[in-house]
Chains A and B, each alone.
Chain A
């Protein structure tokens, strides 16, 4: 609502500036940026320079790449977007965690869903040992407690192979 009123004021495509935590500025069309709920609310409050102190340049670049692509979304390029998404989520867990934190902070729901699903796909069916090793998590259960939890959910540990790989 507010975005339409502000663009009608100028009659031009309204530009917004996003500033990363490293101080880099990115100028973008408002129509692209409002996919992000946090920024949309700020635009509605009349901001045009938007500092994002929780998002560094590297992450912000990726997120802008995502928003630009998804702003082009139409009925006809579904396949293209799908391939883009597939490429987008390639990367280390660390990269994905940074992106997911930023997407959560910026409230970009589509990106949130995409990232959570892709991270989950990589964890799915991994053995407990593998998950601990991948993320350097130390086991803080006592043997008794661990046995108890395992016993309560026996079904999950029976039958079928687990993925022991560490990638």
Chain B
């Protein structure tokens, strides 16, 4: 990629304030996730006691506990910081896997057409027909409540959207002259798909990748909220679930607002980034 193009990207970014905010937010969360062990003030699972030995439950925010404590006397600030890492790992792993799986299926379906396309698209239809959250609940019930099983459940379902959109893009690229030319030159299917078509749809894949990240984070939180999350891991969804079962919503806003807001901001940054990518890649919208 040439310097000139980079300059255009950069100029567009500066113009697109929302996109800039999105990139900044995401960078912020990534930094927090990487340096989480240094940022946390307490062990997220440790219980804290007041000076006279009582469990510090649902303490208000203070200089010792920035976001207060839970009903079990755990430091909420440290939990939220630790949760950032879980959210990013879930979000990014799912995004990468969904993008790869979704794109490959779309490429194969779109390129080969005919019965291959029919078959793969009908499979997509079936996956569309499976309700997401209940399916994830079943996966967790079968495989056990670990974060990896939740990730598997999310990936197994989420590739459908990526596939569908990218396939139609592949269909239109396939008709373009340079593909026809490559075919005439005797290039193999594999080569055409991965050398000629793939590079053209990767930008679009990226857009969907950043959407998938947000989707994955919300889904993890929702599964945790229904009580099917990984109980040994401090995720934002788990913090919200703990607050919900402790009936803290009317009593301890500091327990409910920070994790919820973190989810929202991180997911939103994914939207902003994807929009911004879209505008960079598809100048028609950005006039």
Q: Do A and B come from one complex?
A: no
Q: Which residues of A contact B (CB under 8 A)?
A: none
Interface residues, chain B, with chain A CB atoms under 8 Å away: none
